[in-house]
Amino acid sequence: MAADPAGGTLTLPEAPTRPAAGARGRRLPLLPIGIIATFIVVAALAPLLSPASPYEQSLRHRFTPPAWEDGGAWAHPLGTDRLGRDMLARIMYGARVSLAAGVLTVLLASAFGAAVGLVAGYYGGRVDAVLMRMTDATMSFPVILLALILAVTVGPSFFNVVLAIAVILWARYARVIRGEVLTLMELDFIAQARIAGAGAGRIITRHLAPNTLNTLVVLVTLQIGYVIIVEASLSFLGAGIPPPTPAWGSMIAEGRDFVTSAWWVSLLPGLAILLVVLAFNLLGDWLRDTLDPKLRQL
């Protein structure tokens, strides 16, 4: 506001304000959430939404192209595979396998890894050294090799895949959570809790664990996509979900010899993996930008 020579006042227009970077980063990612929600609904309601049984074979209709291609039929909207099984039905049921494997593996790995990280960061010293050497050794072991060993010795199954991935994946959570705990241990509220007479169990469960929850949620979201890729890779190699259970990785493997003549057999499950993994990664990035207090201050 400025003085007018005539004795009045002039009102100057306000400069337009731009939203802060943190505000832009906290906008709800509708597209990734929509993709994830769609696949969850499809997986949960697959018996109701599926146009056919994923196990029903019909050699007379083998390699039927998708409905929009010449020779396609709306009875099989996404075509059929080499045994005449409906591709849409198998992709729907494959979503159940991939999402269940991803969520269950991440829950097991995060629970154990977070517990190890909390204990190592709180006690320090020899306890920290021993636990971190175990963590380093675990992280150096390739998950694909462990799954192949389990497949050869025990046999491929859903629970073996979950176990093989979780046995390796927990170390990532332990390493990250331990770093968060080391930072928290330097803050005043931990010293005040000790002065007040709080024991190790109470400090870990009531003070340290809640303050590492944001980091854990972000890591869990990001790792679900990674687990889906690993599960698909194992199924592709024959060490994952055994047939005839629909699994996206094994579906890609079944169509790799027919890419030029029946491209949909491999391409469509590959697109499903791409969409789900990308959606979880985008959601994880948004959660990181939203839950990180340093980024919120930008």
Give the model confidence (pLDDT) of 155-165 as tens digits. Answer: 778 888 898 88
Residue 122 pLDDT greater than 70, yes or no? yes
Is residue 66 in some structural domain?
A: no
Find the CATH number of the domain harbouring 122: 1.10.3720.10
pLDDT of 255 > 80? The answer is yes
Residues in the chain: 298
CA distance linking residue 168 with residue 253, whole number of Å = 25
> What's the rounded Cα separation, in Å, for the pair 29 and 25?
9
Residues 259 and 172: beta-carbon distance below 8 Å: no
In a domain, 232, yes or no: yes
Domain membership flag for residue 4: no
Instruction: Tell me the pTM.
Output: 0.84
Cα-to-chain-centroid distance, residue 271? 16
- Using a pLDDT cut of 90, give the percent of the chain over it: 48
R_g of the chain computed on alpha carbons? 26
Q: Note down the domain range covering 80.
A: 28-49+73-296
Q: Are 166 and 174 in contact (CB under 8 A)?
A: no
Q: Is the pLDDT of residue 171 over 60?
A: yes
pLDDT band at 293 (very low <50, low <70, confident <90, very high): low
CA-nearest of 292, 272, 288 to 102 is 272
Instruction: Return the pLDDT at 17.
Output: 43
pLDDT at 124: 87
Is residue 91 assigned to a domain?
A: yes
pLDDT at 256 exceeding the cut of 60: yes
Confidence at residue 244, expressed as pLDDT on a 0 to 100 scale: 85
In a domain, 64, yes or no: no
Instruction: Express each pLDDT in 185-240 by its tens digit.
Output: 888 888 888 888 888 888 888 889 999 998 899 999 999 999 999 999 988 988 88
Residue 298 has pLDDT above 70, yes or no: no
Question: Would residue 111 count as lying in a domain?
Answer: yes
pLDDT at 115: 95
- Encode pLDDT of 19-36 as tens digits: 444 444 468 889 999 999
Q: What are phi and psi of 10, to 5 degrees?
A: -110, 135
pLDDT tops 70 at residue 87 = yes
| Structural domain count, the chain | 1
Has residue 1 got a pLDDT over 60? no
**Residue 163 domain-assigned?**
yes
Q: What is the pLDDT of residues 262-271, one digit of tens each?
A: 999 999 999 9
pLDDT of residue 296: 52
pLDDT value, residue 195:
84
58 found inside a domain:
no
Strands (E), the chain: 2-3, 9-10
In the block, residue with structure tokens 């400025």: 2
